[in-house]
Chains A and B, each alone.
Chain A
Amino acid sequence: MSNATRIEESAVAWCVKRERADWSASDQAELDAWLSESTAHRVAMLRMEYGWQRVDRMAALRSSSLSQVAPVHSPYQPDSKKRWLAMAAGFLLVMSLSIFGAQQWMGNGTQRYVTMVGGHETVPLKDGSNVELNTNTHLRAVVDEKARVVWLDKGEAYFEVAHDEKRPFVVYAGDRRIVVLGTHFLVRRDHDRIEVMVAEGRVRVEGVDTTKPLKSAIITPGNMVVSESGSMMVAMASPEKVESELAWRRGYLVFDRTSLASVAEQFNRYNEKKILIEDPKIIDTRISGSFEANNVDAFGRLLQRAYGLSVVDHKGQLWIAQQE
């Protein structure tokens, strides 16, 4: 073994030992002594530290995708196009199930935030950014001197990102990554379906898996990204639409000629008491107006009075059908 190789081995050994929980002042003195023995020791140590930092920086960016077990890329299905069209009109949340692999780890400095069904919370991050979590949302964040990374495991969150050019703000949602270029924006995740909308500024949405050919999109107010099963589509989103999508921040749901099926989906996200539609003939009934997200009973009364539907409260669920 060459002399240089031996020194390199010592340097990496120091790097590893230095991370021991019981690293002490006398250990440090020993390291300092080793470093002052020769310039060769010093440069080898600098080189290892440099490489170590690079690995860590990349690891921070990579952590979400690397811990995934075999991401799901189902082939393009014709009916998903139809779904997207429905999406562009109102917002229909029909999900295919794809469970991503274990992301249950809790790294050093990882903060976990959870809201229950019907919950709504604003949390400040260390860098001055704010994250507003909507109902039934699970989110993790690592904010340190090097990086600002958030994983949206499920649900929906609105981000107000503090400007910091040196630390891009990155949000992972399933197989998508949103790189923030300083802005206010919304990310919604339901299993492998991801939606991103921007209220202010712009963000870049890209694939997480860097071995795949990448599609990325920069979105600004006026458009949105819908991503599902490895495909990505950019759709129009008028300021009014973004505004109504964000109505949950004030505790409201806003609909504009939205199908009853979609409306039910929306209410069901916020309430344990679910709306169940018994009759397929009525799912296309169009609903407009704004409603308190947590008051499903009031919505039921409206369906009964204004739309002439039968609404039955049974075993904690609201059953909707046509009047006999």
Chain B
Amino acid sequence: MEDAGQVNEWFMREVLPLEPLLMRFFRRNWRNESDLVDLRQELYVRIYESGLKGLPSQTKPFVFMAARNLLINHVRRARIVSIEAVADLDAMNVAIDMVTPEREVTARDELRQLQIGLNNLPPRCREVVMLRRIEGLSQREVAAQLSVGEDTVEKHMMYGMRALINFMLGGSGKIERKPKGSRKHEAVGHE
């Protein structure tokens, strides 16, 4: 049994930096984009709980093996399994080995990404995030400067930081504001 603080640290230091790679793996092997957030969460829960029992000696192969097993379970649970999905799953062993090593991400790349992520935000939201995070103003100061309530500042922060973080960690940076309808039941759907 590992100490929770240690597991938290391991999770942030070794697991989360793999997210861009992991999301690419999911996208390649799973048709339905709207499932990805749930798949990612389910995977993280499994990895974290397994980490509590004992940290793996090598994080990356462990994470991708867990990701593969998760997808296989999902396909088995789905009522209708397309032939294509089965073929993909066979190919997945190869896919895991082929997962390209992370390109060394420099501070410069990250800065560029932050800039793009900021540009993708709605103007008002971007302004709030920049005043708070980049110019270091307090919530109250931002509210005063923009003549809005502090709760409005908080709402912009919640929306903006979430979009920015998802973008920085390799997602699309778009946030669905409303449920997208009934697509979530097509576990292995075709376009």
Contacts and interface: CB of A to CB of B under 8 A. Distances in A.
A58 B169 contact: no
Contacts of B164: 51, 55
Contact of B110 (A8, A16, A21, A54): A54
Max count, chain A CB within 10 A of own CB: residue among B135, B161, B179: B135
B135 A107 contact: yes
Contacts of A55: 114, 133, 161, 164-165, 168
A137 to B, nearest CB: 22
Contacts of A108: 136, 138
Contact of A50 (B16, B162, B176): B16
Given A46-B16, A66-B115, 16 more contacts: A1-B176, A1-B179, A39-B45, A39-B49, A43-B11, A43-B44, A44-B41, A46-B8, A46-B48, A51-B166, A51-B169, A59-B133, A61-B107, A66-B134, A107-B135, A210-B108
Contacts of A61: 107, 111
A81 interface: no
Interface of B: 8, 11-12, 16, 19, 34, 37-38, 40-42, 44-45, 48-49, 107-108, 110-112, 114-115, 118, 130, 133-140, 154, 157-158, 161-162, 164-166, 168-169, 176, 178-179, 184
B133 A56 contact: yes
Contact of B158 (A12, A58, A67): A12
A46 B110 contact: no
Given A62-B134, A210-B115, A4 B49 contact: no
A19 B150 CA distance: 12
Contacts of B154: 16-17
A5 interface: yes
5 contacts: A39-B48, A43-B11, A51-B165, A63-B135, A110-B136
Interface in A1-39: 1-5, 7-9, 12-13, 15-17, 19-21, 39
Give 10 nearest A-B pairs by CB, closest first: A107-B136, A51-B165, A4-B41, A43-B44, A105-B135, A58-B114, A12-B162, A59-B134, A4-B38, A50-B16
Nearest to A168: B107
A251 B49 CA distance: 65
Contacts of A15: 161
Nearest to A216: B108
Nearest to A206: B108
Interface string A214-232: 1000000000000000000
Interface of A: 1-5, 7-9, 12-13, 15-17, 19-21, 39-40, 42-44, 46-52, 54-56, 58-59, 61-63, 66-67, 105-110, 210-211, 214
Nearest to A170: B107
Main secondary structure of the interface of B (DSSP, over half): helix
A48 B168 CA distance: 11
Contacts of B178: 1
A119 to B, nearest CB: 27
Given A46-B12, A47-B169, A61-B107, A8 B138 contact: no
A2 B184 contact: yes
B158 A9 contact: yes
B130 A7 contact: no
Nearest to B135: A105
A39 B139 CA distance: 30
Contacts of A211: 112, 115
Contacts of A39: 45, 48-49
